Structure 1
Amino acid sequence: MTGHIVSFYDLNDITEASLREHLPDLPGLRITEIGPEQDPAAHLDALATATIVLAPLEKERRIGAGLLDAMPRCELVQSVAVGFDGVDHLAAAERGIPVANLPGFNADAVADWTVGSLLFLLRHYAAGHRKVESGGWGPEGLRGRDLAALTVGILGFGNIGRAVARRLDGFGARVVVHDPVPSEPGREYLPLAEAVAASDVLSLHLPLNTATHGLVGDELLARMRRGGYVLNAGRGGVLDEGALVRALDSGQLAGAALDVFEQEPLPADSPLRGRSDVLLNPHTAGVTWDAYHNLRGRLFAKLAAVLTGERPADVVNGVEPRPR
């Protein structure tokens, strides 16, 4: 199809010029860029003729039911990320509009960060650096744990969870998995409570929805082996941050590494700040040059396929494309 792409996505290299460079040279193809400071509701004229919309990432600019009603010709809302929080995908389904994401483009980046952050915690990298910088020496206070001696429970076993598991296999750790849909033969799949109870480390890679919001709270953290660790490079709302602080204060947990948070940016008064047992990261675990190259390539390929008549791939809300 020819059509009209409306982009609310804020990334310097995904512009009208780069889209035209990588998309088929179709007669009549229109591309409208809406800047990151602009309210989508102020662009109803563009939405009225949009056939493909690149959804914003910011929750403040989310495409909700009202804006979806203003998009009568829309055949696809494409998230330019793994997550698709920038659009109400359920409301889109009610209106027959497919919503798609970009799974897997940064799986290696997030998996690297996840395992790296665990090693950071286990081997006290920051404390060792501070000791040398201050003129100290020796192992006192720096005795850590061998990753091969631990059991890591991975909650959510999609592209990123599987990439984390492959890396942990190389370290010799025992990996247990909880996921409603087993996807890798030979893995040790366990019910949620059993997976948590078996784990020295929990690595969270779950989607955020009504069933998972606050799932990892006081009850689950209490089931873990004492002195364990929690890693979250998935969705902030899955982890109850108050419960995490209580578990750290009690000694039930020895540490945590967090790339995502319930509220972002992390509030200045968050009790997670200022702790030596917590590694904080500004939601950038998946941000590498290689992941960005993958993102661009996959986005351009998906848009080109849809524009030339193929069905949208990676639709997350179960909507079949409209007949042409």
Structure 2
Amino acid sequence: MTARVACLSPYSQETVRELFKGRHQVEVVLVPDPPAQQAVLEATQEAHLVIADKRHKHRIDRRVLENMRNCLLIQQAAVGFDAIDHRAAAEYGIPVANAAGYNRDAVADWTVMAILNILRKGAYGDRLVRDGAWLREELLGHELGALTVGIVGLGNVGGTVARRLDGFGSSLVFTDPDPTRDHPGAKRVGLDELLRTADVVCLHVPLDVETRGLIGAEALAALKPGAILVNAARGPLVDEAALVEALGSGRLAGAALDVYEVEPLPAGSPLRDFDNVFLSPHIGGGTLEAEARVLEMVGANLLRMLDGEPPVNVVNAVLVAQK
């Protein structure tokens, strides 16, 4: 059988073919850059395997899913899968898998870098010096080891961040719905207590119906005065309008953001105007090592399906029997 592979991520024909290591005959169908929802619908209709869009732009919604005739697996080439209606996919018996953990080291590195950037006013100090200023007192910051860091979500990334922070001597608190997750020396608390007590709050949870708007006006008001918010997970976890208000009022000491409600971040976003906000273009998980790793994980799962083995990292509880 020639397997038809629809690729919604920005990979070339050659890259997709190389995932199969010459072990299976495949027909690869690419789609144009988004928006191109009709092309997504047509490309996936007869596909046996679908590589979802790592940019989260091409959506696999119910309309796309109900027109899929042969799909064995939807494989996301990323950790986040919010552009896929995974619940509807489960109704149709289609497993959805992600590349869980592929970029945990990259995102954890970015998170620690971002925290230090805000605490020590790194990017701001760089701009001042380049502009000819030499304002030492204005750049006095805080030591990370003197602070309490609250981790919202102790999964692949959150757990890796916790291990990084052990070396700084920070006090750690965390919240996570999974009762089996733990970290030596860290205290499990509820979200309300975490917001009240942490000097730095890091978000490391997936975007879903339960977490959209998790950090809104109420949560921001509950934060310890002078706290710092760090988001390298998904933009819509945070109500940006409420965040702008909290920053403008001086309640927050700063924020570090790699993800946004709308990407790219609009040119007129007020977030661009704050000197105490560190911004990056959704690159926290982007390293050469992580990019190589995600291709390896995606290819391995696609091969499992064609080899008659069940896929790993299935996020919608669809079981695939081994053949």
Which is further off, 1-10 or 231-240?
1-10
Q: Secondary structure at the match of 1:91?
A: helix
Residues 221 and 23 of structure 1: CA distance in aligned 2, closer, same or farther (over 3 Å): same
Structure 1 gaps of 5+ residues are none
**Cross-structure match for 2:209:** 210
**Cross-structure match for 1:227:** 226
Taking the aligned partners of 1:119 and 1:43, their CA distance within structure 2 comes to 41
**Cross-structure match for 2:32:** 35
* Cα distance, 1:140 vs structure 2: 1.7
**Cross-structure match for 1:184:** 182
Deviations 1:225-267 (A, max 9, x none): 2111000001111111122122212221110011111111222
Taking the aligned partners of 2:191 and 2:277, their CA distance within structure 1 comes to 24
What amino acid sits opposite 1:61 in the alignment?
H
1:57, 1:85 within 8 Å by CA — same for their partners in 2? Answer: no
Deviations 1:107-138 (A, max 9, x none): 11111111101111111113332443344435
Residues 99 and 209 of structure 1: CA distance in aligned 2, closer, same or farther (over 3 Å): same
Taking the aligned partners of 1:160 and 1:288, their CA distance within structure 2 comes to 15
Taking the aligned partners of 1:125 and 1:157, their CA distance within structure 2 comes to 27
Taking the aligned partners of 1:137 and 1:45, their CA distance within structure 2 comes to 59
* Cα distance, 1:43 vs structure 2: 6.2
* Cα distance, 1:32 vs structure 2: 2.2
* Cα distance, 1:321 vs structure 2: 2.2
What amino acid sits opposite 2:4 in the alignment?
H
Q: Does 1:260 align with 2:264?
A: no
**Cross-structure match for 1:7:** 7
Which is further off, 111-120 or 300-309?
300-309
CA RMSD in angstroms, aligned pairs only: 2.1
* Cα distance, 1:104 vs structure 2: 0.8
2:17, 2:26 within 8 Å by CA — same for their partners in 1? Answer: no
1:204, 1:232 within 8 Å by CA — same for their partners in 2? Answer: yes
1:156, 1:204 within 8 Å by CA — same for their partners in 2? Answer: yes
Q: Secondary structure at the match of 2:182?
A: coil
Which is further off, 214-223 or 147-156?
214-223
Count of aligned residue pairs for this structure pair: 321
Deviations 1:187-238 (A, max 9, x none): 3111111111110110011222222221212222222221110000011111
1:75, 1:322 within 8 Å by CA — same for their partners in 2? Answer: no
Q: Secondary structure at the match of 2:177?
A: coil
Query: Which residue among 80, 86, 90 is the counterpart of 2:87?
Result: 90
Q: Secondary structure at the match of 1:62?
A: coil
Taking the aligned partners of 2:42 and 2:264, their CA distance within structure 1 comes to 32
What amino acid sits opposite 2:104 in the alignment?
A
Taking the aligned partners of 2:143 and 2:166, their CA distance within structure 1 comes to 13
* Cα distance, 1:169 vs structure 2: 0.9
2:258, 2:284 within 8 Å by CA — same for their partners in 1? Answer: yes
Taking the aligned partners of 1:67 and 1:177, their CA distance within structure 2 comes to 38
* Cα distance, 1:46 vs structure 2: 4.5
Structure 2 gaps of 5+ residues are none
Residues 18 and 214 of structure 1: CA distance in aligned 2, closer, same or farther (over 3 Å): closer
Q: Does 1:139 align with 2:142?
A: no
Residues 168 and 120 of structure 1: CA distance in aligned 2, closer, same or farther (over 3 Å): same
**Cross-structure match for 1:158:** 155
* Cα distance, 1:40 vs structure 2: 4.7
Aligned pairs for 1:66-85 within 5 A: 66-85=63-82
* Cα distance, 1:160 vs structure 2: 0.6
* Cα distance, 1:275 vs structure 2: 1.2
* Cα distance, 1:301 vs structure 2: 1.6
Q: Does 1:297 align with 2:296?
A: yes
* Cα distance, 1:295 vs structure 2: 1.0
2:40, 2:64 within 8 Å by CA — same for their partners in 1? Answer: no
* Cα distance, 1:316 vs structure 2: 0.7
What amino acid sits opposite 1:5 in the alignment?
V
Residues 205 and 44 of structure 1: CA distance in aligned 2, closer, same or farther (over 3 Å): closer
Residues 29 and 103 of structure 1: CA distance in aligned 2, closer, same or farther (over 3 Å): same
Taking the aligned partners of 1:284 and 1:236, their CA distance within structure 2 comes to 13
Taking the aligned partners of 1:99 and 1:235, their CA distance within structure 2 comes to 19
Q: Secondary structure at the match of 1:303?
A: helix
Task: State percent identity of aligned pairs.
Answer: 45
